Amino acid sequence: MPTTVYLIRHSIRFNPHLIESYNTAQDKTVRNEKIVLSVEGERRAEILSNEEELQNLDAIYVSNCVRTLQTAKYTIEKQKLNVNIDERFDERRVGIPNDDVVKDWWLQQYWNENYKTVGGESQKEVRERFLEALNDAIDANKGKRIAVFSHGYAITFFIMKWCKFEYIEAEDNIKFTFKGKEFFRNKINAPEVFKLEFDDNKELLKISHVTFDDLPYKYGIEE
């Protein structure tokens, strides 16, 4: 029996530009981990928890960020499940952006799996830690239904292990194909859901984009 994994990007987060002052000695990574969902993000997270496709889960994993746990909490409560928090599902660490040196440095991370900024992570590094965490989750839940609540770049870099990526600059969209068949062409929604099925050897059998009519596209940060 295949193991089903739902990769779920968190819901809409609170706009950090609305923070007038932040008196803390904590570094940027810790502050980013603590960003909460917006009011609209909370509403959409609750809607997500009622979607038929995501019922009867066996295990839930979230990154070590407040917004993923906040997105998952409605599903956790409704399905009476415990949650596993694993920092290996965290978002890519940005480091120090260097637009003055490399134009569109963030796009370089799609084309070059080893490219990274000072103090940041490469596509390959994100994918390796994510894969390690997911393999552990599958080993603990073979033949079951798993939900992993994570982040846009982390999920994108992870599925690039099997999928061909294309950036559609004119539309600011990303396109994914698996075994020559397109399954996604859009911007990453908040929340967003991809469904993956793995065989007993953890080889990917199928991947699909799961959409919901009551969760139309919304940018990841409250505008």
- Which structural domain, as residue segments, surrounds residue 19? 3-210
- Average pLDDT over every residue of 141-163: 97
Q: Which of these ranges, 160-164, 167-171, 214-218, has the smallest mean pLDDT? A: 167-171
Within a domain: 222:
no
Better-predicted residue by pLDDT, 103 or 38: 38
Give the whole-angstrom CA distance, residue 162 versus residue 91: 19
Mean pLDDT over each residue of the chain, to the nearest integer: 92
> One-letter amino acid identity for 209?
H
pLDDT value for 99: 67
CATH code at position 124? 3.40.50.1240
CA 118 from chain center: how many Å? Answer: 23
pLDDT at 96 over 60: yes
Within a domain: 218:
no
Within a domain: 220:
no
The structure tokens listed for 166 are 């294309």
CB 4 within 8 A of CB 146: yes
Within a domain: 43:
yes
Q: How confident is the model at residue 223 (pLDDT cuts 50, 70, 90)?
A: low
Within a domain: 223:
no
Number of folded domains that form the chain: 1
Within a domain: 33:
yes
CB 145 within 8 A of CB 56: yes
Percent of the chain with pLDDT over 90: 75
Beta-carbon-side half-sphere exposure of residue 145 (alpha carbons within 13 Å) = 10
pLDDT tens profile 197-206: 999 999 999 9
pLDDT tens profile 109-119: 899 999 988 88
Within a domain: 219:
no
Burial 31-45 (b: 16+ CB within 10 A, else e): ebbebebbeebbebb
Give the whole-angstrom CA distance, residue 180 versus residue 121: 29
List C-alpha distances in Å: 96 to 103, 131, 185.
14, 25, 29
Within a domain: 121:
yes
